[in-house]
Structure 1
Amino acid sequence: MIISTVSIQNQRSIVAASSVALLLASATPAHADEAMVQAVQDFLHAQASEQGDGEELMIEVTPPSAHLPPCRSPEPFLPGRTRTLEGRLSVGVRCGEQGRQVRYLQAEINRYGAYPVLRRDLEAGTQITAEMLGERQGNLSELPRDSVLEPAAIVGQIARQPLKAGVPLQTRQFESERLVERGQQVVVEARGAHFRVTREGEALDSGGLGDRIRVRFGRRELIDATVIGKARLAIDF
């Protein structure tokens, strides 16, 4: 197994990349196709740079079996179902000038970086402020799928449950501050390039900033509008 690491500073470029950091002779066949393995590493580095920002990557590629013939002119690609370059994945390689032979190598990608945590325990119903958040470094690939990675994603939101300090946060633990309550009388603003009209109606759903909820005018007229403030909604034309 060949392991390499690389640091990503922005989504379009790799500022610093290390050479192969570790070569385990016991796990690498004597006749491993090093050119193919290197091509896969370079390919994954380039692809991963588009999905990460300010993170360090560790990429492990398992070399092919020793009994396979060399792969000439290797062209790596990702199978159709591969979306996120994280964890264990399979990488396809077309071999030969016309790519008639296809092989698959196993790789594992781990991302290391910072993620927000609470400085102190919070009760349910608490609105999150930037001062409540600290930072912790770790393997982002081991966090739950819906983990919060950017503080801005939860600042201003409300904790839906009691939360502990110092542990990874998940988006499902938060909700937008309710600016409209179900059954409340609200003002709906219809706006366009050359007009702006307001009407009063009844909210049929509760919602926070940016949520789309139903509003009823009279007995039968229903519309969907976007929450823009306290008891205020808007429809854009």
Structure 2
Amino acid sequence: MLAVRSFRPTLSMLWLVLASLLATPAVHAADDDAMLEAVHAFLHREAQSLGDELIIELRPPSARLPACESPDPFLTRPGDVPLGRISVGVRCGSEGRQVRYLQAEVGVIGDYPVLARPLRAGETVRRDDLVMRQGNLAELPNRSVIDIEEIVGQAATRAIEPGQSLQEHHFRSLPLVERNQRVVIEARGKGFRIEREGQALEPGAMGDRIRARFDSREVVMAEVVGEGRLAVDF
């Protein structure tokens, strides 16, 4: 016959069990706080160049997970500006093998450009055409222009009214080189730099890579570096 033994817990034993149950969530909460503080500091560093006043809201993981030792936050889309609703990864442990993901909302009170006057399609943007307005940059449409230098000298792709937020697709770079234009092609290499005349085989704006032909009929890919000027590396 199987013998079953019973026992009555003492008061000290009950206190010990209760204390252990209460202590566990507190430890996890402290661990979550340390991870959230690391993520908050990381997002502050990444977004502080956009403005002086930041609004950062974090949503901790809903599942109860082990402690995240040595939290190392990173953006899940490297190179993006952390603005609006984003996902943040956190590597845990000395080797970063465990990864957690958090949802965050980042708002920045900063300045952004708007037009001071109407702009016609095809018209070039001048610095005097722009004024700065202040607001929450996270509330602007996607791909909004924040830096004036991005659009000064570009042409409007459509008619734009003053006061509205400006987006990247509203503008295009003006071609500095036209098709079949005679150009100066700067040939660069280790320890030498030579300028030769040639012909552009296609139009291009600053930074574009286009086909060009030397007078010797050799065809190369060259970068537009100025008005009527190309550069090619050898």
Q: TM-score, normalised by structure 1?
A: 0.68
Distance 1:39 1:204, change over 3 A: same
State whether structure 2 residue 132 is matched by structure 1 residue 123. Answer: no
State whether structure 2 residue 211 is matched by structure 1 residue 214. Answer: yes
Tell me the percent identity. Answer: 42
User: What is the CA–CA distance in structure 1 between the aligned matches of 2:99 and 2:227, rounded to whole Å?
Assistant: 59
Q: How far apart are residue 127 of structure 1 and its match? A: 1.6
Q: TM-score, normalised by structure 2?
A: 0.69
Report if the CA contact (8 A) 1:190-1:236 is conserved. Answer: yes
Partner of residue 49, structure 1? 44
Distance 1:99 1:169, change over 3 A: closer
Structure 2 gaps of 5+ residues are 1-24
Provide runs of 4+ in structure 1 moved above 6 Å: 97-103
Distance 1:57 1:47, change over 3 A: same
User: What is the CA–CA distance in structure 1 between the aligned matches of 2:199 and 2:96, rounded to whole Å?
Assistant: 63
Q: In proportion to residue count, which structure has more helix?
A: 2
Distance 1:159 1:92, change over 3 A: same
Q: How far apart are residue 90 of structure 1 and its match? A: 5.2
Structure 1 gaps of 5+ residues are 1-30
Match of 2:136 among 139, 143, 156: 139
User: What is the CA–CA distance in structure 2 between the aligned matches of 1:103 and 1:138, rounded to whole Å?
Assistant: 32
**Amino acid corresponding to residue 44 of structure 1 in structure 2:** V
Q: How far apart are residue 57 of structure 1 and its match? A: 2.0
State whether structure 2 residue 37 is matched by structure 1 residue 39. Answer: no
State whether structure 2 residue 173 is matched by structure 1 residue 170. Answer: no
Distance 1:224 1:136, change over 3 A: same
Q: How far apart are residue 48 of structure 1 and its match? A: 1.8
Report if the CA contact (8 A) 1:39-1:74 is conserved. Answer: no
Q: How far apart are residue 208 of structure 1 and its match? A: 2.1
Larger Rg belongs to: 2
